[in-house]
A = this chain, B = another copy of it.
Amino acid sequence: MKEIEDIQLREDMTVKELTKQMSDSGFQAQNLGIAIEIIQEMIKEDAAIFLSFTSNMAASGLRGIIISMIKSKKIAAIVTSSGSIDEDIIRAKMPYLQGSFDADDVKLGNEGINRMGNIFVPNDRYQYLEEFSSTVLEETYTQKKSLTPSELLSIVGKKIEGESFIKAAAENNVPVYCPGITDGAFGMQLSFFKKKHKDFEIDVLSDFNNVISHAMMYNKNGGIILGGGIAKHHTIISNLMNGGFDYAVYVHSSSPYRGSLSSATTQEAKSWGKVKESAKAVTIHGDAAIIFPLLVSSINEFCKANNQSKSKNLK
């Protein structure tokens, strides 16, 4: 068995040096080290990486990391919740603001500011989202009346100006799966559009078939799953028909003792075949806002755009 080593700091050390040392420490620092090794192996083995995250992450600085991972051509698919679409479209145009967890919510409400933890979102952001969505949907509708969520997001992505993960995904042919697409402000615009155009349809059924087929294209699949909710479950269930993940890294802070899928570990996943019995897998119990940047910035392959994808993994 390896020994626990004391972390030795030095001035201006790199993230990679620090996380390497963390891997010889205990508790979640050790798990972080294990996760980095697993992701490194995903890349080395050219596994198809399914990246899943919740909308709060798209509202935070993590969005920049997601964009960078997509541009590095190491991501096979994105699975996310509907709120991520809202945050991404808005932030490509208008910034969110730094706030405080202890703010007075009634006062904020009266000032037209919506609080998301310590991130503040003024109401005008949602007005912009409505206008953007309305224009894009009118344009799209003239070309096609029934679209799957991933198909729609591929079209929307190409219409976004500014930095955006939906745009980066569209430009790099990375599908963005969003099974619960109605459940957000963009989703509300979709539903309102349907009122006016009865033959407009979002085909969620075909997209589930699409993501399952997509997951079956590769010899080896890996999941990087941040947070829980429908994004996490959908990533996992989409890879179930394929025999489960060959590699899996979960990062979440909720307690597995509640029995929810959101908090379930990679260990529990093995009973279901969601993660292969032989898979390399780890759960980091912690906050993706801090842990995900450490993970990704420890892996050079994710930090540069236009990394050559080897594709040898295709069946």
Contact = CB atoms under 8 A, between A and B. Distances in A.
Contact of A209 (B192, B253, B262): B192
Given A6-B65, A9-B303, A103-B271, 13 more contacts: A6-B61, A29-B290, A30-B289, A81-B230, A101-B256, A105-B271, A108-B271, A114-B272, A115-B272, A180-B230, A182-B205, A184-B233, A188-B208
- Among A15, A110, A228: residue with most chain B CB under 10 A: A15
A191 B16 CA distance: 43
A98 B26 contact: yes
B260 A227 contact: yes
Nearest to A61: B25
B258 A27 contact: yes
Contacts of A117: 26-27, 256-260, 264, 268
Interface of A: 1-16, 18, 21-22, 24-32, 54-56, 59-65, 67-68, 81, 83, 91, 95-99, 101-103, 105-106, 108-110, 113-120, 163, 179-185, 187-188, 190-195, 200-209, 212, 227-230, 233-234, 237, 253-264, 267-273, 277, 285-287, 289-291, 293-294, 296-297, 300, 302-304
A183 B64 contact: no
Nearest to A297: B9
Given A3-B97, A7-B61, A64-B7, A28 B106 contact: no
Contacts of A303: 9-11, 13
Contacts of A4: 59-61, 91, 95-98, 119
Contacts of A296: 9
Contacts of A271: 103, 105-106, 108-109, 113-115
6 contacts: A5-B95, A27-B56, A55-B260, A101-B257, A229-B229, A254-B254
A247 B56 CA distance: 25
A83 B261 contact: yes
Contacts of A63: 6
Contacts of A190: 205, 208
A286 to B, nearest CB: 5
